[in-house]
Amino acid sequence: MSGRTLLGIALLAGLAGAAGYYFLARPHPTPIPAAAVATPQPVEAAGAAQLAAVIPPFKLADRDGQMRSLKDDWPGKSLIVNFWATWCAPCRREIPLLKQIARERAGENFQVIGIAVDFRDKVIAYADEMKIEYPMLIGEQDALDAAAAFGIDAVGLPFTIFTDNKGRVITLHMGELTAAEADLILNAVAEVNAGRADPLQARAVITAGLAALPQETADKSGG
Structure confidence at residue 156 (pLDDT): 81
For the chain, the domains span: 3-213
Structure confidence at residue 169 (pLDDT): 98
Shortest CA distance to 114 belongs to which of 90, 149, 138? 138
Phi, psi of 150, rounded to the nearest 5 degrees: -75, -10
pTM of the complete model beyond 0.85 = no
Higher confidence at residue 101 or residue 21?
101
Q: What is the pLDDT of residues 170-213, one digit of tens each?
A: 999 999 999 999 999 999 999 999 999 999 999 999 999 999 99
Q: How confident is the model at residue 3 (pLDDT cuts 50, 70, 90)?
A: very low
> Per mean pLDDT, which range of 20-29, 122-131, 207-216 is the poorest?
20-29
CA atoms of 129 and 45, how far apart (whole Å): 33
Contacts of 161 (CB under 8 A, 6+ apart): 51, 79, 80, 81, 83, 150, 169, 171, 172, 173
Question: Is the distance from CB of 162 to CB of 182 less than 8 angstroms?
Answer: no
Structure confidence at residue 8 (pLDDT): 43
Shortest CA distance to 99 belongs to which of 133, 127, 63? 133
Structure confidence at residue 7 (pLDDT): 44
CA atoms of 128 and 210, how far apart (whole Å): 33
Matching CATH number, 3-213, of 2.60.40.420, 1.10.10.60, 1.10.490.20, 3.40.30.10: 3.40.30.10
Which helix (H) or strand (E) is 200 found in, with range?
helix 199-212
Structure confidence at residue 95 (pLDDT): 98
Q: What is the pLDDT of residues 133-169, one digit of tens each?
A: 999 999 999 999 999 999 997 668 999 999 999 999 9
Which helix (H) or strand (E) is 210 found in, with range?
helix 199-212
Structure confidence at residue 5 (pLDDT): 41
CA atoms of 81 and 65, how far apart (whole Å): 19
Q: What is the pLDDT of residues 81-111, one digit of tens each?
A: 999 999 999 999 999 999 999 999 999 999 9
Half-sphere exposure (Cβ direction) of 52: Cα atoms closer than 13 Å: 27
